[in-house]
DNA sequence: TTTACTGCAAAATTTTTGCATTAAC
DNA sequence: GTTAATGCAAAAATTTTGCAGTAAA
């Protein structure tokens, strides 16, 4: 899977006539080997430890590029930080967010997706993407 | 309904020992008589026409207060602008957003809500709120 | 009077851009 | 050699705060 994304990104770069650089490789590795919901800042800080000369702007621009290439997706949990998550081909998942400890659980539910399509259809919409986030308290935090 | 919200806000103010001011009344009227998804800036600009001396910070702080009082809710569509929408007591709705013209349609679907609860339960979560947004192209824009 | 609110301007955040230099092709 | 990417610093855009003056209770 990591392999696939690297390959996908390499192809995207090539097809667009862009350049493959050391920084992009480093950032991609860091992104792929991380938590699935990193903010730009978190990734930047993580990188800075080993690669102190990589600039914030590069991380910023590279993440945008990941999103454009389809291997990442921008998400907003409304805490004022843009995050990027991994996108596996064809896969889609939603989020369960613990408002107490911040844990994020991913889930999928086909029935919900089907109902969403129905809702959209009834309003003459064709869905491109969707976002479903459930906020609540996880079991651990309730104890 | 407008009446109810005004009343609810008045009660909130009183109960908290806060003050009822001319500005808060003006902002509340503008908010209630507006589009259901105003950003702080949009509301500020709308107000400025008739009330050029109301400051941005006041609008900002007042909207926060509306949210705290329960008559409004903060939403983020990921376009870098915090919006506020009306909250009707006990009611909850989700959004269908046209990525082309920006139209926002609200909808409710009990079955989806029920399934969400099930998902949460299976992960030992108790849901407090949720957010469901469907992004796509509306009928008009497809023509 | 006392306490909270307003309006302004300034600070803090976060995102985005310009540009000279460097690295990939 | 060309063209695109980097890194820095600076600009934009948003959100948030401090504070002296003002208005509500």
Strands (E) in chain A, as ranges, are 37-39, 72-76, 82-86, 94-98, 104-107, 126-137
pLDDT band at B120 (very low <50, low <70, confident <90, very high): very high
B18 interfacial to chain A (CB closer than 8 Å): no
Q: Is there contact between B64 and strand C, defined as CB under 7 Å from any strand atom?
A: no
The closest nt to B81, taking CA to C1', is D14
Reported CATH class of domain A94-142: alpha beta
For the segment B59-102, what is each residue's pLDDT rounded down to a tens digit?
999 999 999 999 999 988 877 889 999 988 777 889 998 888 87
Q: What are phi and psi of B55, to 5 degrees?
A: -85, 160
- pTM score of the predicted model: 0.79
What is the SS3 assignment for B93-109? CEEEEECCCCCEEEECC
Q: What is the per-residue pLDDT for A2? A: 67
B2-86 against B94-142: fold identical: no
The Cα B85–Cα B133 span in angstroms is 14
User: What is the gyration radius of the CA atoms in chain B, in angstroms?
Assistant: 17
Other beta carbons less than 10 A from residue B121's beta carbon: 11
Q: Where are the domains of chain A?
A: 2-86, 94-142
Stated as kind and residue range, the H or E segment containing A134 is: strand A126-137
A55-77 pLDDT per residue, tens: 999 999 999 999 999 999 998 88
Spatial strand order in the sheet of A94-98: A104-107, A94-98, A126-137, B126-137, B94-98, B104-107
CB-CB neighbors (< 8 A) of B116 in chain A: 112, 132, 134
Fold classification of B2-86 (topology level): Arc Repressor Mutant, subunit A (1.10.10)
Residues of A from 1 to 20 whose C-beta is within 7 A of strand C: which are they? 19-20
Tokens standing for B113? 């809500």
Q: Which of A96, A125, A132 sits opposite B136 (nearest CB)?
A: A125
């Amino acid at each position: 899977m990591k392999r696939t994304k690297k390959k996908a990104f390499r192809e995207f770069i090539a097809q667009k006539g862009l350049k493959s650089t050391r920084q992009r490789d480093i950032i991609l590795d860091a992104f792929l080997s991380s938590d699935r919901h990193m903010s730009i800042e978190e990734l930047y800080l993580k990188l800075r430890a080993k690669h102190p000369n990589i600039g914030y702007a590069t991380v910023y621009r590279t993440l945008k590029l990941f999103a454009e290439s389809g291997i990442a997706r921008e998400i907003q949990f409304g805490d004022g930080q843009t995050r990027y998550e991994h996108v596996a081909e064809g896969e889609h998942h939603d989020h369960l967010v613990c408002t107490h400890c911040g844990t994020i659980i991913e889930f999928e539910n086909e029935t919900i997706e089907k109902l969403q399509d129905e809702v959209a259809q009834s309003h003459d919409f064709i869905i491109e993407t969707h976002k479903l986030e459930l906020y609540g308290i996880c079991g651990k935090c309730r104890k």
